[in-house]
Amino acid sequence: MKTTLLVARPHLSSDDLAIAADLLKGGHLVAIPTETVYGLAADLFQPEAVKKIFYLKGRPPDNPLIAHISAIHQLERLVQNPSPLLLRLAERFWPGPLTLVFERRSEVPGIVSAQLPTIAVRMPSHPCARQIIEAVGSPLAAPSANLSGRPSPTSAQDVLDDFEGRLSVIIDGGECSFGIESTVIGLIDERCVLLRPGAIPRQAIEEVLCTTLLDPPKNGPVLSPGMKYRHYAPKARVYLVDNQDDLKVSKGSTYLPDDLNAQNLYSHLRKADRLGYLEIVIVLNSQIRSDEALMNRLTRASCG
């Protein structure tokens, strides 16, 4: 299969939009840009298409997907009894990088949310993502467009590196502005829980709720199955150190990213792999330590 890149800066031409929308309506997958990371999209109401996402990524079937919508009325097709707390967050942060976990309507194919009674939903702000969802006329199920376990893709080239020849169309919308995944919020007994730290900081959400966010309980059922997998890992081994002298750095085989932040983390990890480095050493300065989402991804990409 030949992989074609369709360029969106920031919108797709009407011809290219028709190509992408027809593929999705026909039950095929298309990689799309969003403001967080690139997504591997399928029409959410076609279970056979959604199945292809798990197959192509090598994603464990118990790791649920996020539904992407372009207008608030689409929420009605996906969720029931929406909590006013979650709706308040949607009103404040949508469109944008916040994912909210609602009660799932029974009409939503179970494969999307790994048979959980809930469904994670977000409304992206990226103009091209919104354009495509609107043209398909249906919410899209879309996890990050990387092979399972690899760093998330923040450019069309990253998607191509993982899926060249296995995907017919990748939409090139340039570099993702956030470069890190959405924040995921769920509910326990009508209290909001931070299931995954991400692009929207904890404090911004707490300000809107006027209360602190809970952390997921350590015991009991896993509320966010994606968080249990080692993740975001490049081929090179990742070491986190307090200062550079903590580890013998061998020149030539060690990649030392400078100016590391949440926005450029994945591009650094992928760059180190492209250049063939065997290890990546990250010096944890105070700026990195204070970024909860960045620390979460670093810990999960590293060997300790």
Q: Which chain residues interact with ligand AMP by CB under 6 A?
A: 63-64, 66, 101, 113, 116, 118-120, 143-144, 181, 184, 186, 195-196, 223-227
CB of 211 to Mg ion, least distance (A): 29
Asked if residue 278 lies in contact with residue 255, where contact means CB atoms within 8 angstroms, the answer is: no
Q: Residue 101's binding partner, choosing from ligand AMP, Mg ion, none, with beta-carbon cut-off 5 to 8 A by kind?
A: ligand AMP
CB of 102 to ligand AMP, least distance (A): 8
Asked if residue 303 lies in contact with residue 230, where contact means CB atoms within 8 angstroms, the answer is: no
Q: Which residue spans within the chain are E strands per DSSP?
A: 4-7, 30-32, 39-43, 66-68, 79-80, 98-104, 118-122, 140-141, 169-172, 183-188, 191-196, 237-241, 254-255, 279-283
CB of 74 to Mg ion, least distance (A): 22
- Interface with Mg ion (CB under 5 A), residue total 1
* Phi and psi at residue 103, to the nearest 5°: -70, 135
CB of 195 to ligand AMP, least distance (A): 5
Q: At a CB cut-off of 8 Å and minimum separation 6, what does 189 contact? A: none
Q: Residue 43's binding partner, choosing from ligand AMP, Mg ion, none, with beta-carbon cut-off 5 to 8 A by kind?
A: none
Helices then strands, counting H and E runs in the chain, come out as: 9, 14
Nearer CB in complex with ligand AMP: 95/226: 226
Residue 99 binds Mg ion (CB under 5 A): no
For Mg ion, the binding residues in 112-171 under the rule CB under 5 A are 144
CA 107, CA 109: separation in Å to the nearest integer?
6
Nearer CB in complex with ligand AMP: 163/277: 163
Nearer CB in complex with ligand AMP: 28/196: 196
Neighbours of 83 (CB within 10 A): 17
Asked if residue 172 lies in contact with residue 5, where contact means CB atoms within 8 angstroms, the answer is: yes
CB of 125 to ligand AMP, least distance (A): 16
Q: Name the residue number minimizing CB distance to Mg ion.
A: 144
Interface residues toward Mg ion, by CB under 5 A: 144
